[in-house]
Structure 1
Amino acid sequence: MKTMANKPTKLPAQEQEQQPGKEHEMTPQPEYIRKGYKGSDKLKGKKALITGGDSGIGRAVAVHFAREGADVAIVYLNEDKDAKDTLKLIEAEGRKGLILSGDIGDEKFCRDAVQRAVKELGGLDILVNNAAEQHEQSDLKDISKDQLQRTFQTNIFSMFYMTKAALEHMKGGSAVVNSTSVTSYRGSDHLMDYASTKGAITAFTRSLSANLAEKKIRVNAVAPGPIWTPLIPASFDAEKVKEFGQNVPLKRPGQPSEVAPAYVFLASEDGSYITGQVIHVNGGEQVGS
């Protein structure tokens, strides 16, 4: 694991053949928690469910939550080794962990995953809707019906499915944190369907927050910029990976460890007066609110 001081400003050329991508095959390995991060019981006794929790931002959030005192269930597609590695990291923090494999684009699976998490962890206080997929296409004509449906099914339909199921168990003081993206605000000429789903997630976050305000359930989002996760080598060719993150003011890709504390903040009492908002963790790119 690279330390904060040693994070590379440029990445070696690499790519993976299929999504969501595998963290254990990446070079360098993403940093999931920075050296010296000390938990302070911000989430003590909480029960959390994180989609896409096996790797990347999801893994970082899972480990940060565990270090802050939460028991954590993670949902993933088929990256068994990454999921088992993340489970070990959760348990190493002295917390209970659970891994659940399946397709979040399937509403029944989402219901079943929530029910199992509630049963195994003893409740549900925090839902992190994080899993996503993206497929690069430079021409709108090349975005097939199947790709369009799949991207929306995974990225935004799943949030409706998972949140509907989770709300049956959540109460006042609970929190939902969604992963949107900088592309929601500035668009992306080569990720048009992906950026569209992220725009939908931002609108979903704002709308749901208003809907749940009377129930005292807060709903917020994080909008990462170029973060070094398995989705990157699984989405782009090796030459583009080499230049990943170079076009932001900080001139480097961010690490999952630099994003996860925003999720901790929004899930904890530190964010008790914040709902319907988006935190931008993007290396300095200026975007509209």
Structure 2
Amino acid sequence: MLKNKIIVVTGASSGIGEETARQAKNAGARVIAVDINPPKIDVDHFLQVDLGSKDSLDALLAALPSNIDGLANIAGLPPTKSVESVMKVNLVGLKYLTLGLIPKLSDGASIVNLASLAGLGWADSLAEIKASESLDFDNVNAFCDRHQIKGARSYFFSKEAVIAWTIQNRWTWRERGIRINSVSPGPVQTPIFQDFIDTLGVRAAEDMLTMDRPGRVEDIAPVVVFLLSDAAGWIRGSNIPVDGGMYSHILAGKSGL
């Protein structure tokens, strides 16, 4: 499915990123793993980077080749981390890396952003999302203070903004055949799973009872790999929930179904 394609996977040292890198490699890709920690699986190349640092990202962009076929933006921090760190890694760094890589992407390349079920209420945050278009590494704290983004709200907002940004850029690079989509997992058993339980508490426990089980990385990675492939060539600007039906459950409740 990805034979001979060069695929960059961020967050490749654990969780969904690790499984995406593994499955992309198995699908025939040459995988460039990007993370702050070295990967534990076989990849073609590893580049160490702090995705919350502009200087580190600039070094990464300089080191990456000029014929990349796919970018999987999987790296992310949980809501237990500081507001500044979450916003820098999950939103500012993701956008900075993606935009910086556009000149190095091959025609027909695919960008896949890992969003979250936590971001599916993005339409209710449009004012803040539009204001975040001016966000950079230097004004994160001021922005969050101005818009009352505190605690776990930083995680929810970062994912809302990623979904909206994905939709906005559905046709931005269409003349080169470059497409962008996102995947929104529900609760997934990864190394940061407990962080979500600790943050969301009773709400998360209730969600677990509603679902048949938490997700597994093996549930999410195949969807990312598919979106990276040529088979997904006419899927553009879409956000795909992969959550055991949780989003449909929420919509059904809101709609009285």
Which TM class, normalised by the smaller chain length?
Answer: 0.7 to 0.9
Identity level (%): 27
What are the equivalent positions in structure 2 for 1:61-76 lying under 5 Å apart?
61-76=20-35
Unaligned runs of 5+ in 1: 1-41, 91-96, 137-145
* Alignment counterpart, residue 19 of structure 2, candidates 25, 49, 60: 60
| Whole-Å separation in 1 of the counterparts to 2:55 and 2:5 | 25
- Corresponding residue of 2:78: 134
- Report the residue type matching 1:247 in the other structure: L
* Alignment counterpart, residue 260 of structure 1, candidates 193, 201, 221: 221
What are the equivalent positions in structure 2 for 1:99-114 lying under 5 Å apart?
99-114=46-61
Answering whether residue 112 of structure 2 is matched by residue 174 of structure 1, we say: no
How far does residue 149 in structure 1 lie from its aligned partner after superposition?
A: 2.2
Answering whether residue 110 of structure 2 is matched by residue 151 of structure 1, we say: no
Answering whether residue 214 of structure 2 is matched by residue 270 of structure 1, we say: no
What are the equivalent positions in structure 2 for 1:35-46 lying under 5 Å apart?
42-46=1-5
- Corresponding residue of 1:161: 96
Aligned residue pairs total 221
Tell me the secondary structure at the aligned position of residue 109 of structure 1. Answer: helix
User: 1:86-130, CA deviations, whole angstroms, 9 ceiling, x for partnerless residues?
Assistant: 2x3x4xxxxxx2122221112232232233231xxx731101111
**Residue 180 of structure 2 contacts residue 237 of structure 2 at CA under 8 Å; is this kept in 1?**
yes
**Residue 189 of structure 2 contacts residue 215 of structure 2 at CA under 8 Å; is this kept in 1?**
yes
Pick the structure with more helix per residue.
2
| Whole-Å separation in 2 of the counterparts to 1:164 and 1:186 | 25
How far does residue 270 in structure 1 lie from its aligned partner after superposition?
A: 1.1
**Residue 118 of structure 2 contacts residue 159 of structure 2 at CA under 8 Å; is this kept in 1?**
yes
How far does residue 223 in structure 1 lie from its aligned partner after superposition?
A: 0.3
**Residue 254 of structure 1 contacts residue 282 of structure 1 at CA under 8 Å; is this kept in 2?**
yes
* Alignment counterpart, residue 246 of structure 1, candidates 208, 212, 226: 208
TM-score of the superposed pair, with normalisation by structure 1: 0.70
**Using CA pairs below 8 Å that are at least 6 residues apart, which structure has the higher relative contact order?**
1
Tell me the secondary structure at the aligned position of residue 150 of structure 1. Answer: helix
How far does residue 215 in structure 1 lie from its aligned partner after superposition?
A: 2.2
| Whole-Å separation in 1 of the counterparts to 2:207 and 2:224 | 21
Unaligned runs of 5+ in 2: 123-149, 252-257
- Report the residue type matching 1:179 in the other structure: L
**Residue 67 of structure 2 contacts residue 106 of structure 2 at CA under 8 Å; is this kept in 1?**
no
**Residue 52 of structure 1 contacts residue 132 of structure 1 at CA under 8 Å; is this kept in 2?**
yes
| Whole-Å separation in 2 of the counterparts to 1:194 and 1:237 | 14
Q: Call closer, same or farther: CA 1:114–1:245 in 2, change over 3 Å.
A: farther
TM-score of the superposed pair, with normalisation by structure 2: 0.78
User: 1:186-239, CA deviations, whole angstroms, 9 ceiling, x for partnerless residues?
Assistant: 48x98321010000000111122221122210100100001111111355449x
Tell me the secondary structure at the aligned position of residue 153 of structure 1. Answer: helix
